[in-house]
Amino acid sequence: MKCNLCPRRCNAERTDFENNGGFCKAPMLPKIARAGLHFWEEPCISGRNGSGTVFFSGCSLNCVYCQNFDVSRGIVGKTVSYERLAEIFRELEEKGAHNINLVTPTHYVHAIKRALDIYRPKIPIVYNSGGYDSVNTIKSLKDYVDIYLMDFKYKSCEKSEKYSSADDYPQVAEEAILEAYSQAGECKLNSDGIMQKGLIIRHLLMPQGTNQAIEVFNWVRKNTPNAHFSIMSQFTPLANLRDYPEINRKITKREYEKVLDVICESGFENCFFQSIDSSDKKYIPSFDLEGV
């Protein structure tokens, strides 16, 4: 397969077990680092039972601050068949998961659709991506995905290039989110408050990033008024940030409250606010191949 799934359009040759020259380093068969119930997503996703998360290895971005570094670089993970991926969906459903949550799925869209053709759970399918998705890839998911849980990391091309090696990220993310919004429409929750259909747009507040966060929020409020917005305060500086001293710290209470004040004063109601004490390594999952 010559792969052009993500906006980088590497045209890399991907075989079942190898990737020759592609940015994501992912083979064709899905490589998974963990599959299990996860309780640290937004309340309408995790609920009481947990979200059935499948953490895929590899990534189409290169975020220097990534908390899941070994996974996103494709170092950790086990390659499974399409049939096994379908079984994992079934097993998570049988454990009582509120949904099947596909984390960093962009480079495995072909595998996900094939597995869902084998077995489609009776619970919602969540596409949990970094926002760096091509419009055509999002369009191809119309009959497969119920909920889009997408990052909108930057409005600045300079920052997206410096921290994620993607200077086109702002435009790409806007186009992908708008396509997801056109599919998802207004958010729908069941009687237990668990989302069944919709779009949640996340933004990770970074050090010195208050203006960036406000720009992203204002774009969301204007362009996707029926979506939910989630402002995240979990930025956790790890050892790989030594070369980026300007962001090699946690966000401050002042930075956090400045953004929250703007959101609250706007009157936009569909918001989630992450506690500022969520910046802690203990919230990073153990990628030990559980459930794979």
The tens digit of pLDDT for each residue in 244-258 reads 999 999 999 999 999
Cβ atoms 131, 138 nearer than 8 A: no
Identify which of 154, 188, 186 has the alpha carbon closest to the alpha carbon of residue 171.
154
pTM for the predicted model, two decimal places: 0.95
Query: In the block, which residue shows the tokens 């506690």?
Result: 275
Q: What number is the average pLDDT over the span 216-225?
A: 97
Is residue 288 very low, low, confident or very high in pLDDT (cuts 50, 70, 90)?
A: confident
Which residue shows structure tokens 């996340």? 202
H/E run at residue 152:
none
Q: By C-alpha distance, which of 137, 148, 169, 163 is closest to 229?
A: 148
Q: Residue 107 pLDDT more than 80?
A: yes
Asked if residue 40 lies in contact with residue 46, where contact means CB atoms within 8 angstroms, the answer is: yes
Question: What are the φ and ψ backbone dihedral angles of 168, each rounded to 5 degrees?
Answer: -95, 10
Domain borders along the chain are 2-283
**In this structure, CATH architecture of domain 2-283:** Alpha-Beta Barrel (3.20)
- Residues 84 and 48: beta-carbon distance below 8 Å: no
Distance CA 147, CA 150 (A): 9
Pick left, alpha or beta for residue 58 (phi over 0 → left; psi -120 to 50 → alpha; otherwise beta). Answer: left
Q: What is the pLDDT of residue 75?
A: 75
Q: For residue 281, name the pLDDT band (cuts at 50, 70, 90).
A: low
d(CA 209, CA 42): 22
Q: Where residue 20 falls among pLDDT bands split at 50, 70, 90?
A: confident
Query: What is the predicted pLDDT for the residue at 282?
Result: 57
- Residue 211: what pLDDT? 96
Question: Burial level of 67, CB count in 10 A (0-12/13-18/19+)?
Answer: middle
Residue tagged 């966060």 (tokens): 213
